[in-house]
Amino acid sequence: MSAVISGLNIKNIFEYNSGLSYSKYDVIDFQLHTGYSLYPNYTGFGQTGLTTWFNNDSLEYFQTDGGFNVTGWTNLVTDSGKLIQTNDNVNLRPFVNFNEYYVDINGPESISGTGFASNSRTIFVIVEAGGITYPQQTQKLLKFGTSNTYGFIKLSGSNTLDNAKVFIDDQSNNAISSIYNSKNIFTIIQNNADSSLKLRQNGIQIGNYASYNSAWSNSTLTLGDNNDNESLKYYELIHFSGVLPETDIVKYEKYLYEKYFNNKRLYFAKSDVPTGYQYSPITFTGANYWTQDIDDLFKMTYGSTASFTAALSNLDMGDGYQTNVAKNLNTLNSNFTIAYNGLTDIQAKALIAFFENTPEAPKRSVYEGFKGVNINLFTPYKKNAELYFKDINHNSPYNNINNIQISAESLYDSSINYKGMLVELDEIKIRTYSSPIDQLAYNDIFYYNSVSYGDRGYYFYTGENYANTEDTIFFPTAIAPENSPTGNNSWFTKDFYFKGDIDFGIDSKIRLKVNDAKNSTIEYDKDGINYNLLEINVSFNNRSNSEARAILKFLDDKAGFKTFKYTLPQPYNKQIIVYCPEWNHTYKFYDNNDIVIKLKEIKAPFDIQTAFDTRLYFSI
Amino acid sequence: MAKFINYRNLTFSLNGEKYYASKVSLSAKSSPTPVLLNDGSLLDYAPENAVLGNLSVDFYLTGSFPSYINITGLNESAVSGVFAGVSITGLYPKDISFSVEPFQPIVISANFDWYGNVNVQSFVENTQSDINNFQTPNYVANAYRSFMNTNNLDGINNIISFDYSASCERPSFFYVDEKLPFRVAKLNRRCNVSLKSNALGDLIDIDGKSVNSVITLRDTYGDILDTFAISGVLIDQSYDVTNGQYMIASANISQTIADKKTLI
């Protein structure tokens, strides 16, 4: 059992076995082959015939020039041939990337050497080829020989099923999985006894060529030597003399897979999967059956929520005056509780396994933590969010009914993105303003683009100064400048025009100074001026999707600290300046949303525009 | 003059099979809630749930009980129905019941939840050809030959009449942005038998009295149409007698359906 499986709280998850069929929602750990892997120089089971072993585990294995260009790659098997580049032209020398486990051989760069002669051999090479410019182009992975007749393995064609080709000399073979921009383990089994040269890609045989060139027995091996725009990353190359039995081949292939693919993320069946290795997750065909994308498996249900909190430091200036100091560039923290209700036991098993496996995602970069889960959020939030799953709440009210809520955090969305943090300018529901507009409906949201910081931003159509109706208005003709978002008689507003629920409560607390002398009655003094600052929660329950989108876009745009005007309900009826550091949203049912916002009154001049965003203008 | 559709010319079918229904009721219910604003105005009416329909039907059993309206089983699939020419594709059975009383035909009552759009403006009567081809059933379930087995009923021997019912709740689950459920599950499946007899054996204990029986429904010719098993607890007993009458004992048997989970 792999460490990945043993780390789960779910039983009956196994390594992928191509001899089995699978049902939708089945979960597997894909490690290329079942069973154990073998280190190439392990001789515990007898002599293996290992004659060549190149890898990038240590910089000591390379001879380089002053520019860290490779002049030699040491064979880890002693007294065996090594690969060198003796040409004085540095442009023909590959490059060692200190941070990576591969040698980069670009275009005409190459390394070659002798001492690799064998009539029968088994070669394992793990390589990542960059894309090619046009499908007819070929890209040599390796070649044997020095004369005009070489023994080749070449890549060609476009990167799709039946079009991606791997050549043995002139014989074309269909690749089983992506050949460009992804790692591939190629296994070459050259058997002089039956004059066959078999080629395996990622553990499955894709070619068998009887008429291979005689140069395949030559002692000279060359890597690289391609056209200018091609690149190959060589991770490891292992060469055994003689033909290894398949039982050994799969162990060495698995060694390479475990070492370089480092794939600890589980795969989930998105439909019933037939038996056969061609349906394994890393093949072209298998991609239609297996997924690591949660949206391929599950859709959110009503009851999903979003909450936002601004991380602010309040700077108290005395007399009730204060200013908010943002702790960092992005003050707004967003958390989502994603509901997946009504799942069967099999679906719940898959979802819980997905949740528990999320920390096994690859790192975002060498300097950062693991990647979050790419997910389509619910209306009105962005569709390409990256969330970190943190908590799971699972309850089962009855046999085969499971309700799961996953709490997740968004870390990489930015308030300074002019398109919005999580309620984005998508040009569908939220559009860039241009006249004419084919139709206008109450709560429609527009981004008004302007070089003026004060003018640009998001505006909401309310029908004010025009139809005073909440019906959709078809408006095929141009909107006059005075009716545009910034016009004198605008039909749009930038203000908070939303009205809270009829049932509301406002608690007010007077800010007082307390003189508490011992053995005496305490005395109260007013704390300077502005001692009646409000902090209130306003509810917007049962609101339509369009109104919810408008409210949430307004708040998203304010980023938790920007101030706006709010008119208190009767009997107050006064307009005050507030900011909104917290709000919660629940998508309850179709066209029905609950939103609760916290408003804090602030005494500050309102005419200051906080307008720092990523919208840039350049003048020539 | 308004035209009213006449029952005599209507047909009712489930999953393509015609049933001889004595009564069909179709209803739909929405649950909007008013949205009142803090300035006193009414903003709108917001939907709180999907349109939930109910179909109840009383029909005569002319063959084996249809498996697709089995309440106690695990199958959650929807049933399709046609009533007066109108199709309903998302019918979810939630309870059935019938009474067996001396010499009376047995009428099955079934209730369904339904979701989806039903074209209720398109009710039509049968064509003359349908009416001409309408065949009256020769065999219907009748209490005359139907019975409830008393072997394991702890002293209950002479059953005068009994009622059988099976029911479950059908919670529905919706994806976001959808008005129709992706799943209508089954919850709290149970069946119940209430019977009248001359005697009920020993008094029930604090945990009731374990009993089991099988109800066999037959037509008037004695052919078995279907059987209904119950294995539960007898939970109440009552004895009633009125002046000049025999004492009648009544009891209720309740069974909660349980399915041991298969290891996945």
Q: What is the DSSP string of A2-61?
A: -HHHHTSS-SS-EE--TTS-B-TT-EEE--SSSS----TT--TTS---EEEEEE-S-GGG
A chain contacts of residue B33, beta-carbon cutoff 8 Å = 542
Mean pLDDT of the region B74-83: 93
Q: Across-strand partners of A394? A: A404
- Distance in angstroms (rounded) separating the CA atoms of residues B152 and B165: 19
The SS3 assignment for A424 reads: coil
- Distance in angstroms (rounded) separating the CA atoms of residues A94 and A105: 5
What is the pLDDT, as a whole number, of residue A1? 58
Contact between A437 and A479 under an 8 Å Cβ cutoff? The reply is yes
One-letter identity of residue A322: Q
What is the pLDDT, as a whole number, of residue B155? 85
Cα dihedral A233, A239, A244, A246, rounded to 10, equals -10
- Distance in angstroms (rounded) separating the CA atoms of residues B215 and B149: 6
A chain contacts of residue B41, beta-carbon cutoff 8 Å = 499
Using the beta-carbon criterion (under 8 Å), do B46 and A543 form an inter-chain contact? yes
- Distance in angstroms (rounded) separating the CA atoms of residues A429 and A443: 10
What is the pLDDT, as a whole number, of residue B9? 62
Strand A430-432, strand A445-448: pairing: parallel
Q: Which residues of A touch B (CB under 8 A)?
A: 12, 299-302, 304, 341-342, 345-346, 349, 378-379, 397-401, 499-502, 504, 541-544, 569-570, 587-592
Contact between A235 and A128 under an 8 Å Cβ cutoff? The reply is yes
Averaged pLDDT, groups of 10, chain A, 620 residues long: 81 93 96 92 85 91 88 91 89 84 90 92 95 78 86 91 94 95 96 94 95 91 84 94 94 95 93 95 95 97 97 80 75 94 97 96 89 96 95 95 97 86 93 87 92 89 71 70 89 94 92 84 86 94 97 95 92 94 97 97 68 54
- DSSP-derived letter for residue B129 is H
Domain ranges in chain B? 9-30+48-256
pLDDT tens by residue, B23-74: 999 999 999 999 999 999 999 999 999 999 999 999 999 889 999 999 999 9
pLDDT tens by residue, B120-142: 888 888 777 777 777 777 788 89
Using the beta-carbon criterion (under 8 Å), do B174 and A590 form an inter-chain contact? yes
CA angle (B172, A392, B182) in 5-degree steps: 20
Contact between A154 and A132 under an 8 Å Cβ cutoff? The reply is no
What is the full DSSP assignment across A165-186? EEEETTEEEE-SS--BSSEEEE
What is the pLDDT, as a whole number, of residue A4? 79
The residue whose two tokens read 């019933």 is A272
Q: Give this prediction's pTM.
A: 0.91
Cα dihedral A444, A449, A452, A453, rounded to 10, equals 60
- Distance in angstroms (rounded) separating the CA atoms of residues A368 and A206: 38
Using the beta-carbon criterion (under 8 Å), do A592 and B48 form an inter-chain contact? yes
Q: Considering all CA atoms of chain A, what is the largest pairwise distance in Å, rounded to the nearest integer? A: 109
Using the beta-carbon criterion (under 8 Å), do B174 and A591 form an inter-chain contact? no
Q: Which residue of B has its CA nearest to A349?
A: B264
What is the pLDDT, as a whole number, of residue B1? 41
Using the beta-carbon criterion (under 8 Å), do A501 and B173 form an inter-chain contact? no
Domain ranges in chain A? 1-31+263-292, 50-261, 304-410
CATH number of A50-261: 2.60.120.200
What is the pLDDT, as a whole number, of residue A611? 54
Using the beta-carbon criterion (under 8 Å), do B47 and A401 form an inter-chain contact? no
Q: Which two tokens stand for residue A135?
A: 């499908």
Mean pLDDT of the region B183-206: 94
Contact between B169 and B113 under an 8 Å Cβ cutoff? The reply is no
CA distance B230 to chain A (A): 20
Using the beta-carbon criterion (under 8 Å), do B39 and A569 form an inter-chain contact? yes
- DSSP-derived letter for residue A486 is T
Using the beta-carbon criterion (under 8 Å), do A342 and B38 form an inter-chain contact? no
Using the beta-carbon criterion (under 8 Å), do A590 and B177 form an inter-chain contact? yes
What is the pLDDT, as a whole number, of residue B159? 93
One-letter identity of residue A344: T
Q: Is B247 on the interface with A (CB under 8 A)?
A: no
Q: Across-strand partners of B19? A: B12
Q: What is the ipTM of this complex?
A: 0.91
Contact between A334 and A403 under an 8 Å Cβ cutoff? The reply is no
Q: Which residue of B has its CA nearest to A303?
A: B176
* A488 phi-psi bin (left φ>0, alpha ψ -120 to 50, beta other): alpha
Contact between B114 and B56 under an 8 Å Cβ cutoff? The reply is no
Which of B30, B35, B169 is the best mutation test for A, with the most CBs of A within 10 A?
B35
B chain contacts of residue A304, beta-carbon cutoff 8 Å = 176
CATH number of A1-31+263-292: 2.10.10
